[in-house]
């Protein structure tokens, strides 16, 4: 990084050929600094693969996503497809020569509803128990017809977010007014670059209040008349995940100088507090309910307390909102009680019915998170509760292992006897750990399914020949 090429000055002799002149000056190259990124290569590979897969499945124009540590702001993976290869730069269209996560702006739709909900709770304009009339799914708002994707009557704020009621969020926004909605949109960082340490980031858009029409309050509250990029969404939701702190994202972990000494080391940088912790916990609970039995059930991973929000936005084309071109997006994090991972996924113009945030982007989110938690043993689910009133949503049933009630002990260590191997017990392990222990025993491995190991063949403890195949089944 920022090194300088060296050069040796040459001259042309009478023959017309270059010749070295030892008495002429030469310049030695100067090594640059070494830069270490926060990107996890495994996460990056998973993200890109799943974005490509979901783009093809939904016939979307493009897909983009980011995975971030919501506690620190470290970018763990960032990708957009279709993409380009810098080695063959000229072979790609000019609109592919950028990182869409940072540059492409879009109307987010319902993922933006956290702004109005947070503002209303923070300013004591609503209570969680009061109900709003959602007009059975159709509402005349200053001459414009606002529709919900399914009809609802009376809903409280938790239910409004859970079911993503446009009508409900408009009525909440009417309580707070345009000044508060604009203020909290800016507090969440919308309309301003995140200032990530990469050039080219867009700022998004949110109009000053003086430019709002009479329907702008309602439109903005449900994520229209506002533009965001994918990273802005991820950073805004990180403030909900990390107890209310808007953080500056970063992709450079460390920079070492030529002497291998740390020249720069990034860490969490808090920009501001969004709201007090009590309010943030209430919003987090709303997002948890979205995934439990709301519009985001496709993102649920049993035992992991996933929280998140779906978003579906009609694209604004040729001066009007399209009825058949949509943005599908989902932002989620896990475990909700102490989030380690947060991801924002966006699909551009997926086909119906995958145009819904809960049917398009949420599916990709789940696949990505499942692969990561199966691979990375450092990411652990929340602790199981031991009392009788334990939450069935986060406690998985005990998987009975095949070696239970056997008389012989089964060790995690490998025992070799006369070129034979005692099969180690991988039941209940993650895929990453199972691969490590079985491959380490000198056995070949065949994998069925994903998740945790629920069975294996041959059975744990059996003495088999080296290099035999061990089949594991995961769920």
What's the pLDDT tens digit per position in 353-392?
Answer: 999 999 999 999 999 999 999 888 888 888 765 444 433 3
Sign for the pseudo-dihedral over CA of 462, 466, 468, 469: positive
Out of 72, 80, 110, 343, pick the active-site residue.
110
Which pLDDT belongs to residue 80? 95
Who contacts 95 (Cβ-Cβ below 8 Å, separation ≥6)?
none
DSSP string for residues in 16-68: S-EEE-TTS-EE--B---EEEES--HHHHHHHHHHHHHHHHHHT-SEEEEEEE
Lowest mean pLDDT among 43-47, 212-216, 392-396: 392-396
Say yes or no to pLDDT of 312 above 80.
yes
Q: Is 110 a catalytic residue?
A: yes
Which pLDDT belongs to residue 381? 84
Percent of the residues in the chain that have a pLDDT greater than 70, as a whole number:
85
Average pLDDT, the chain: 87
- Residues 196 and 250: their CA atoms lie apart, in Å, by 5
Which pLDDT belongs to residue 403? 35
Which pLDDT belongs to residue 90? 62
- Residues 475 and 455: their CA atoms lie apart, in Å, by 9
Residue 25 in contact with residue 8, Cβ under 8 Å?
no
Classified as helix, coil or strand, 265 is: strand
Which pLDDT belongs to residue 260? 84
Which pLDDT belongs to residue 406? 34
Which pLDDT belongs to residue 441? 79
Cβ neighbours around 179 below 10 Å, total: 10
- Residues 307 and 288: their CA atoms lie apart, in Å, by 4
Cβ neighbours around 33 below 10 Å, total: 14
pTM of the predicted model, to two decimals? 0.78
How sure is the predictor about 30, in pLDDT bands with cuts at 50, 70 and 90?
A: confident
CATH architecture for the domain at 416-474: 2-Layer Sandwich (3.30)
Which pLDDT belongs to residue 83? 74
Say yes or no to pLDDT of 402 above 50.
no
Class of domain 41-375: alpha beta
Going from N- to C-terminal start, the domains of the chain cover 7-33, 41-375, 416-474
């Amino acid at each position: 990084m920022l090194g300088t090429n060296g050069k040796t000055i040459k001259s042309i002799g009478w023959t017309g050929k270059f010749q070295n002149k030892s008495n002429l000056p030469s310049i030695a190259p100067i090594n640059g600094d070494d830069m270490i990124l926060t990107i996890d290569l495994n996460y990056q590979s998973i993200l890109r693969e799943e974005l490509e897969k979901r783009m093809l499945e939904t016939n979307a124009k493009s897909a983009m996503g980011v995975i971030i540590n919501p506690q620190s702001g470290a970018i763990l993976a960032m990708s957009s497809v279709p993409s380009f290869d810098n080695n063959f730069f000229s072979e790609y269209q000019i609109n592919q020569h950028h990182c869409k996560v940072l540059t492409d702006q879009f109307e987010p739709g319902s993922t933006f509803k956290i702004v109005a909900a947070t503002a209303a709770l923070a300013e004591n304009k609503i209570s969680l128990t009061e109900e709003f009339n959602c007009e059975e799914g159709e509402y005349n708002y200053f001459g414009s017809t606002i529709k919900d994707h399914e009809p609802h009557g009376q809903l409280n704020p938790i239910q409004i977010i859970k079911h993503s009621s446009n009508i409900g969020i408009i009525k909440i926004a009417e309580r707070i007014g345009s000044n508060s909605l604009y203020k909290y949109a800016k507090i969440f960082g919308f309309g301003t670059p995140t200032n990530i340490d990469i050039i080219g980031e867009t700022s998004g858009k949110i109009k000053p209040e003086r430019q709002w029409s009479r329907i702008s309050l309602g439109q903005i509250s449900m994520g229209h008349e506002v533009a965001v990029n994918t990273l802005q969404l991820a950073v805004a939701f990180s403030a909900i995940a990390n107890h209310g702190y808007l953080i500056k994202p970063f992709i450079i972990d460390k920079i070492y100088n030529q002497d291998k000494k740390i020249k720069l080391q990034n860490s969490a940088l808090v920009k501001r507090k969004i709201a007090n912790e009590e309010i943030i916990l209430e919003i987090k609970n709303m997002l948890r309910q979205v995934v439990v039995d709301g519009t985001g059930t496709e993102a649920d991973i049993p035992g992991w307390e996933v929280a998140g929000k779906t978003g579906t936005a009609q694209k604004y084309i040729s001066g009007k909102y399209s009825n058949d071109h949509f943005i599908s997006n989902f932002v989620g994090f896990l475990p909700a009680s102490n989030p380690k991972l947060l991801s924002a996924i966006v699909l551009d113009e997926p086909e119906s019915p995958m145009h819904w945030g809960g049917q398009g982007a949420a599916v990709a989110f789940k696949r990505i998170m499942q692969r990561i938690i199966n691979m990375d043993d450092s990411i652990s689910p929340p602790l199981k509760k031991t009392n009788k009133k334990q939450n069935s949503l986060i406690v998985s049933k005990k998987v009975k292992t095949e070696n239970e009630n056997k008389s012989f002990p089964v060790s995690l260590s490998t025992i070799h006897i006369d070129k034979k191997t005692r099969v180690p017990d991988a039941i209940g392990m993650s895929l990453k750990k199972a691969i490590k222990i079985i491959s380490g025993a000198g056995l070949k491995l065949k994998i069925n399914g994903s998740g945790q190991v629920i069975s294996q063949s041959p059975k744990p403890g059996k003495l088999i020949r080296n290099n035999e195949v061990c089949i594991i089944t995961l769920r």
